[in-house]
Amino acid sequence: MTTVVHTAADLRREAGTGRRRAVVMTMGALHDGHATLVREARRLVGADGIVIVTVFVNPTQFGAGEDFDAYPRTLDDDIVVAGHAGADLVFAPSATEVYGPTGAFRPDSVTVDPGPAGGILEGASRPGHFRGVLTVVAKLLSLTQPDTALFGEKDYQQLVLIRRMVSDLNLPVDVVGVPTVREPDGLARSSRNRYLSDDERASAALIPAALDAAAAAAVDGPSAAVDAGKAVLATDSRFELDYLVVTDPELGAAPESGDARILVAARLGATRMIDNRPARMGA
């Protein structure tokens, strides 16, 4: 049976000591993508280990005009999904439990600066987003004290920045990236997919199709890959493209040959969607 706790004190008591520990951090609205992370966490720590799922809609990573108040909160369902996937504990703290009386950053708060890579792509579109992400991840790592933390590759920039933070700050945790879980038509599983209308949902499959087209054109280099991906999205005028870019695996300049990452962000109706995939540039 999965135990649910809401305070750091209860978390420490229920988690105990001496067992290998893995954490999966979520903002709730759990789906099979999250369940895959939990199942992998269980596999990594084994039957004798402990798997903790955090459910916390983090206010500091939402910008002005974003959907913090509308973000789905489905804790009862989340507990069921987490438990079926193998979680031992669900830690669902309040904002004041995480940030103190203000429930958010204070003007004098100590926070985690994501560095230059936090100001590109999602960071350029959502100023301050990764400051909020890295700060809450650091807090939750401190609270849960895991040996391993698992994150999905769908939020690829987030994964890269978390790995960089853990390395640069010498945090004693192994960060594991888990491949994106997709729908039968290729669309990445996301809590925000529920915001799409039926018609928008059908068109959303153009996002993974654009990534696939870009990857197929990568033999001719980054520019060809970008052009091929954009051409796919241009077939539906409802897409508002934010970016479709090629980077190296660490979000640096696009290589002319070798391993790369293709990342895309686009708005379809009221829903902003992101996705990515690996690719190989050049012949």
Do residues 34 and 72 touch, judged by C-beta distance below 8 A? no
What token pair was written down for 52?
Answer: 């903790």
Backbone torsions φ then ψ of 266, nearest 5 degrees: -150, 150
Q: Is 129 one of the catalytic residues?
A: no
Contacts of 227 (CB under 8 A, 6+ apart): 217
Choose among 167, 166, 176: nearest CA to 140: 166
Choose among 261, 254, 264: nearest CA to 277: 261
Give the C-alpha separation, 258 to 42, whole Å: 34
What token pair was written down for 162?
Answer: 């978390």
Handedness of CA 58, 104, 157, 44 (dihedral sign): negative
User: Which of the residues 6, 34, 84, 129 is marked catalytic?
Assistant: 34
The 3-state DSSP class for residue 165 equals: helix
Question: Active-site residues: which are they?
Answer: 34
